[in-house]
């Protein structure tokens, strides 16, 4: 049975989807933030409705939003929100964007909602409760041989500039095949057993917090490329079905 927190997160995602649909493919105005990433009125307004929904139900919780920043981060429970993860795709009318809502309690991610309203997928998970995609329970694959594994990559800029790039090339050669689904898509695919490995660099915790919980509750393993647990400072991802995690980590670090 869903907790009150999960009910709130799902309600916030639904409210955000209404805002997002109203702007999608309507040529929303775009401005660049200090880090040169784009932001639209849809990003700001959808975060506002998410924050309003969550704050009304849990006024003592902290909030860390992509557009409005950090508030009460010293609270035991903190919401982590990216209202439109994939704004570049949203602006160009490509449906590979999503709303990401996670809850961190005592430094541990315990709840995640990943809503892709135009793509047509809604995934969620709560610690100890398993993961669901469009109301159906999902589970990672049982593939245990790298030669049978499907790998998906996202942003790899820093990986390409590092000494690991050649190791990544060898890993690709050893796997069954590589695709770059990116954004929320490959994490949903991983959680439902359609691929085995996701590798990314240059990420922000708000991009992956909810997906961390979803993959973990589907039976997978989610760390950074050093093998460390995901936290507020995480900037890279190695997410797998669990069975292949150590083998992939070894391939990238040795």
Rounded Cα distance, 157 and 42, in Å: 27
Strand 108-116 to 136-138 pairing? unpaired
Model confidence at 188, in pLDDT bands (50, 70, 90)?
A: very high
CATH 3.30.540.10 domain position(s) in the chain: 4-119
Strand 150-153 to 177-179 pairing? parallel
- Rounded mean pLDDT, 194-216: 97
Q: How much is the pLDDT for 165? A: 92
Q: Check whether 130 has a pLDDT greater than 90.
A: yes
CATH 3.40.190.80 domain position(s) in the chain: 146-253
> The pTM is what?
0.96
Q: Check whether 210 has a pLDDT greater than 90.
A: yes
Tell me the per-residue pLDDT of 150-176, one tens digit each, with 9 for 90 and over.
999 998 988 899 888 999 999 999 999
HSE toward the beta carbon, residue 82, CA cutoff 13 A? 23
Model confidence at 14, in pLDDT bands (50, 70, 90)?
A: very high
The CATH class of 4-119 is alpha beta
Q: Check whether 190 has a pLDDT greater than 80.
A: yes
Model confidence at 28, in pLDDT bands (50, 70, 90)?
A: confident
Model confidence at 248, in pLDDT bands (50, 70, 90)?
A: very high
Sheet arrangement for strand 62-65: 69-71, 62-65, 77-85, 98-105, 108-116, 121-126, 131-133, 136-138
The CATH class of 146-253 is alpha beta
């Amino acid at each position: 049975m869903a907790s009150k927190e999960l009910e709130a997160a799902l309600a916030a995602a639904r409210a955000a989807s209404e805002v997002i649909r109203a702007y999608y493919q309507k040529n929303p105005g775009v401005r660049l933030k200090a880090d040169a990433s784009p932001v639209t009125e849809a990003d700001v307004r959808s975060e506002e409705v998410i924050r309003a929904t969550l704050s009304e139900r849990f006024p003592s919780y902290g909030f860390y939003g992509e557009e409005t920043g950090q508030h009460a981060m010293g609270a035991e429970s903190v919401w982590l929100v990216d209202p439109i993860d994939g704004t570049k795709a949203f602006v160009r009318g490509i449906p590979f964007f999503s709303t990401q809502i996670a809850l961190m309690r005592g430094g541990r991610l315990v709840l995640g909602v990943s809503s892709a309203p135009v793509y047509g997928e809604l995934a969620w998970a709560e610690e100890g409760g398993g993961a669901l995609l469009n109301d159906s329970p999902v589970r990672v694959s049982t593939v245990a041989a790298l030669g049978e594994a499907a790998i998906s990559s996202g942003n790899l800029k820093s990986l390409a500039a590092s000494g690991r790039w050649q190791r990544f090339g060898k890993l690709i050669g050893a796997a069954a095949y590589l695709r770059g689904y990116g954004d929320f898509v490959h994490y949903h695919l991983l959680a439902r057993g359609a691929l085995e490995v996701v590798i990314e660099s240059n990420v922000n915790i708000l991009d992956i917090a909810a997906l961390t919980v979803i993959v973990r509750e589907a039976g997978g393993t989610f760390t950074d490329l050093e093998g460390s647990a995901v936290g507020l400072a995480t900037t890279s991802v190695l997410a797998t079905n669990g069975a292949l995690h150590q083998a992939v980590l070894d391939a990238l670090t040795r």
